Structure 1
Amino acid sequence: MSNLDVKPAATECGGREDVSAAPVRELLTARTVPLGESTVVRRLLPNLGRRMVGAWCFVDHYGPDDIAQEPGMQVPPHPHIGLQTVSWLHEGEVLHRDSLGSKQTVRPRELGLMTSGRGISHSEESPRDHARYLHGAQLWVALPDVRRDIAPAFEHHAELPQVTGGNGVHATVILGELDGARSPGTVHTPLVGADLTLAAGASARLPVERDFEYAVLTMSGETEVDGVRLAPGSMLYLGAGRTTLPLAADHESSLMLLGGEPFEEKILMWWNFVGRTESDIVTAREEWINGTRFGEVHGYASPRLDAPPLPPTPLKPRGRER
């Protein structure tokens, strides 16, 4: 998924100085961002006061949207460096194409995982004959410096490990490991991503890693996480220092658990690029414009995205303040 902001700002992410070693309950407010022709997303990371959760550096939540008479998601070819994209659906389908030649329809509760490494381009669209509703999340994972120039790759995993505990909580492990179950998706830092379904009346304590920081994104229904009520589309940052996480729901609901070891390196995010310096970003933009490095996506009906103009001042990382 692309950041379609025509005036993207440089954002500094990473580092451990803002990571709480003790549990916290920090509610993150989403901002609404248009995506393509007919999709509007709620952007939860990067946020005003929270840039990353482990290596997770970008989170968009969208839907449920009735797209029966709409084209649905239509994101033209665009480039990425230095990150992984994670496509996760609850309803609908997304057709992924990339410059490696991959063509894959991702369906609900299947993992579409693209590793950009040194450079890749891709497109995402709702198929012409698509389901009525579209609902999901798109996430980015920052690659550590020693891995950010690896060869690009795409993975599709239709079958993912399940964790069924007592007291009405069921988990699908998207990335990393949870309660002894490990996803087949490739990861480059210690992290976890899981989709949790809570039955009506559920009340449980989910085992988590003390050294990980965590956040939860409510996908549907109202949930209670560590005593905090969460409406759909909201995210609660939880800090670190926990061994269990209390969960409850009056009615059936679902949420995503995101966590990982705090990302120690400082990264620079601008548009669809994750680098370390202004030079990384400027070079990637130039190579997208001149048609080198990122290859070509075949089969998407409209032209690729143009790179936004660079700001008139030097690209410098932003801190916590906007």
Structure 2
Amino acid sequence: MSVDVVGIGEPMVLVQPPAGGTLTASPTFEVHVAGAELNACAALSLLGRRAVLCTRLGDDAFASRVEHAAAALGVTLDAERDPTRQTGLFAKDALPDGARRVLYYRAGSAASTLDVADAGRALRHRPRAVLVSGLTAALGPGPERLVRHVAANAAAHGSRVVVDVNLRPALDPEGRAVRTLSAILPHTDLLLVGTDEAEPLFGTADPAEIVRRAGVREVVVKGGPGGCWWTADDGTLHHQPSLATEVVDPVGAGDAFAGGYLATRLAGGSPGAAAWLGSRLAADVLAHTGDTAGLPGRASAAELLAEALRRDAVR
């Protein structure tokens, strides 16, 4: 069976208090499995695309939990276990003002040792698209080399390069992500970037100027509550308003958007239809705690994809 998308990144165990609680005071915690590329692959799978996540895991109980969660989400794991390293862990804290703080415990994790040697595992699937992000590049020198190598060689394997920027300055004091993503722009077929993370890459947060400076044929600029901007095949810029009506937890919404957008494009939908479906999935995730908890079931996801494709038919 052919593979639609291979994501390269780090899946982790997520610990968080129930809605309204804090890590400091909550007597109980919820445990999930998440990570940007896994979240996006989960959305792709629910929308009928075959998605593979290429990664490294520790040889521990958390690794087994990641494997079980990925299987439940319909995502195939191409993962090597490392008995000398741990599986990554992170926590989300609900602050008194309603914001979320993310605490990472992933230094020295198994995924931080990803390197060029892992490119063969990712590209041997010959996916229609390979998904990389600034998060992976930020994990260390090996992952940085891997992202650069995969981007430069994906076309030779028949794969398009999809970049979801995902800058995390607190995780990346050495600036690996900005350096790497800037270098791979010439190899990028689809770029997804938030207005809140565009300044380090392009020196602007203006959507039209981001598109101009990126030099990538297909660009989506995500503006949070302001919706998103997408480029049509002729290069013109269009706006999709946000579909969110409730914000419970913002983490994971951008990944759901990426999965919904890419799934629609792979199904033959236009950028406009893809932006609508990505926005719809993001709105659902925003209304729930947990990075993938708000994603629709397979039947509902199929209906949403069909609706997105119908939008093209009536234009």
Pick the structure with more helix per residue.
2
Q: Same fold (TM over 0.5)?
A: no
Pick the structure with more strand per residue.
1
Per chain length, whose mean CA-contact separation is higher, i.e. which structure has more relative contact order (CA < 8 Å, sep 6+)?
A: 1
